[in-house]
Amino acid sequence: MKKLFLNGVGWVSLFAWVCGGALAQEYKVGLILDKGGKDDKSFNSAAFRGATQAKSDLKIFLKYVEATDDNAFETLTRSFAQKDFDLIIGIGVSQAEAIKKVSAQFPSKKFVIVDAEVKAPNVRALLFEEHEGSFLVGAIAAMMSQSGTLGFIGGMDIPLIRRFEMGYVAGAKKINPKVKVISNYVGISGDAWNNPAKGKELAVSQYGAGADIIFAPAGASNLGVFDAAEEKKKFAIGVDSNQNWIKPGYILTSMLKRVDHAVFAAIEDGVKGKFTSGTQRFGLANQGIDYAVDQYNEKLLTPKVRADAEKIKAEIVAGKIKVPDFYLKK
C-alpha cells in the first residue's frame, strides 16, 4: 500500500514536471487594459482583439486584467513582471509611468506601451498618428455636412484628445474654411469615459445648436452620442474600433486606430524572438490609422465623398498635406 502510494506520488510529480516543462515553453503575455475595460467597443476592445488573436494564432498564454483606477497600474504591471511573464503590455497613456518604473526594475522582461512614449532598452512604444485620421474624418464630415456646423465631443481635456480635435478641425476647414466646430468635453475624472448620459446631453445640445455631425473620441460615453444621433436623426462618427454597427444608418464612419494589429505584431515579434525596443509609429501610411467603410455605412458615404477622402488620404501620406499635430504645438 505504501509502495503504491509512493509510486503514485512519483507519477504525479513526473506528470507535473512534464506539464511544467511544457508550460515553461509557452510564451506568456500579460495584458493590462485601461479603465474602459475589454468591452468598451472602442480602444480597449481593439487591444483585446489583437491579443486574443495572438492567443489563437500563436498559441501563447494570455492573461488580461482590467484596471479599476489609475493607482492600480503599477501594482498590476509589477505583479506580471514578478511572475514568469515574458511580455507585459500596457494599454493607454495613463500607464506610461508604471511601465517606465517597472521596466527599469525588470530589465530581462519585455514591455509594450500603447499611446505613450517610454524610452528604455526593453520597452516598445506604439504610437498612433491620431491627428491624421481625425483630419480625414473631419474632411469627410465637412463634405457631408448640410448645416456647415460640426460637433466634437472629447472624453477629457487631455493632450491626446486635443490632438484628435486639432486634426478634426483642420480637416473640416480644409474642405470648408467657413465651417464652425462646437467642442465639448464630458468630464474631468475617470468617469468621463463612462458617462453615456452626459455624452448624450452634450450631443443633444450640439445638435440643438446646429451641428449635424459629431465626432466623439470619448470612450464609452460616445454610446450616448450615438443615441442622440438616432433620436435627432443626425450623424455621429465613431472612434478607435469600427463602431459603424452600433447604430447603423447614424454612424457616418469610424476613425480606426489599429491597436489590434500593433499589439498582435508586438506579440508575434516577442514569440519569434524578434522583439525590438524603441518607438513604432502607426499612421495612414502603414494602415495603423484609417477610416471604416463597411456594409453599415457604405450607403451613407457617396462615391464622390469616398473618392475625395481617398485623395486626401493619399496626399497626407505623400506629405502634400501637413496635418497640424497638437503634440508638436508649443
Partner 1 sequence: MSENLDTILQIAGSTLRLATPLLFAALGGLISERAGVVNIALEGLMLVGAFVAAAVAYATHSPVAGAGAAMLAGGLFASFYALFVVKLRADQIVAGTAINMLAAGVTPFLCKIFFQSTSSSAALPMDSRFVSAPLYGAWIFVIAVAFGLGFTPWGAWVRFAGEHPEALDSAGVRVNRVRWMAVILSGFLAGLGGATLSIFLSSSFSRNMTSGRGFMALAALIFGKWRPWPTAFACLLFGLADAFQIRLQGVVLWGSDPVPVQFIQILPYFVTILVLAGVMGGSRAPKALGQPFLKH
Instruction: Give the interface with partner 1 as residue ranges (CB under 8 A).
Output: 36-41, 66, 157, 182-185, 187-188, 191, 194-202, 204-205, 208-209, 220, 223-224, 227, 230-231, 246-247
**CA of 196: how far to CAs of 61, 69, 96, 278, in Å?**
34, 19, 27, 37
**At its nearest, how many Å lie between partner 1 and the CB of residue 174?**
21
Nearer to partner 1, 145 or 183 (CB): 183
We find the least distance from the C-beta atom of residue 314 to partner 1, in angstroms, to be 33
Residue placing its CB nearer to partner 1 in the complex, 81 or 216: 216
Q: Which three cell numbers stand for residue 261?
A: 494589429
State the minimum distance, in angstroms, from the CB of residue 125 to partner 1. 26
Choice between 67 and 127, CB closer to partner 1 = 67
Alpha-carbon gap, residue 7 to 127, rounded angstroms: 56
List Cβ neighbours of 64 (8 Å cut-off, separation of 6 or more): 30, 31, 32, 33, 38, 48, 51
Q: Which is nearer to partner 1, 223 or 323 (CB)?
A: 223
Q: How far is the CB of 208 from partner 1 (least distance, A)?
A: 5
Q: Report the 10 Å Cβ neighbour count for 177.
A: 8
* Closest to 215 (Cα-Cα) out of 245, 171, 248, 176: 171
**For strand 289-291 and strand 251-257, is the pairing parallel, antiparallel, or unpaired?**
antiparallel
CB 213 → partner 1: shortest distance, Å?
Answer: 17
Q: Which is nearer to partner 1, 197 or 314 (CB)?
A: 197
Residue 187 backbone phi and psi in degrees, to 5: -160, -170
Q: How far is the CB of 182 from partner 1 (least distance, A)?
A: 7
Distances 86 to 134, 144, 275 between C-alpha atoms, Å = 35, 48, 11
State whether residue 91 is helix, strand or coil.
strand
Q: Report the residue number, 62 or 312, with the smaller CB distance to partner 1.
A: 62
